[in-house]
Structure 1
């Protein structure tokens, strides 16, 4: 099962709608960050040849260590996977995510509501 990090202004991820990061704020941030690319639709070809497509307003991609890291905007918060790809603790992954949260006047919480 995956584990997510969540960028939120709320005390917990369950309260994100009460003190949301707006979609407009998130899109404006993505437009200013040269490492992020707003990509509201992604597609992948499955082994059987079928194409799986996911659409989501406010989805952004960061190319990290050769992998796509998907930021998903929903209900006033931004979620992304953690830890990525067997990452080491001293990698630039967490500092980048913490920087994004800081610039949005938000917090970085794990799925169990612990703060990073």
Structure 2
């Protein structure tokens, strides 16, 4: 089971629908952030040759030190998988910066604020 970080305007992530970041706001932000790229579909070929794809409106990718990080818009907030390199200050700083520019907060799965 993974751990996510969430960019939200709500007090708790599960309340994001009531105090939402709109898809339009998020997509506008993606266009001005040179580190992000709108990528509404990602695919990966599995060892058995099958292709696994994911489509999501408002999905963005961020190349963090050669590692792809996906930011997924859902229900008024942006979800980011907490990667093993997530303890690195630059990783958290970038996500906090995005949250600040969207007038939002960065919360973990336990609702702790970063």
TM-score with structure 1 setting the length: 0.94
The aligned runs of 1:28-107 (5 Å cut-off) are 28-82=28-82, 84-89=83-88, 91-107=89-105
The Cα offsets for residues 44-98 of structure 1, whole Å up to 9 and x where unpaired, read as 001010111100000000000111000000000000011x234544x31011000
Matched length: 114
Aligned twin of 1:8: 8
Q: Distance in 1 between matches of 2:58 and 2:86?
A: 25
DSSP-derived class of the 1:31 partner: helix
Task: Note the residue ranges of structure 2 that are not aligned, 5 or more in a row.
Answer: none
87 and 11 in structure 1: CA distance in 2 versus 1, 3 angstrom threshold: closer
Any gaps of 5 or more consecutive residues in structure 1? none
Distance 1:23 1:94 in 2: 22
The CA deviation string for residues 3-37 of structure 1, in whole angstroms up to 9 with x for no partner, is: 11000000100100000000000000000000000
2:18 corresponding residue in structure 1 = 18
SS of the residue 1:47 aligns to: coil
Please give the secondary structure, in 1, of the residue aligned with 2:49: coil
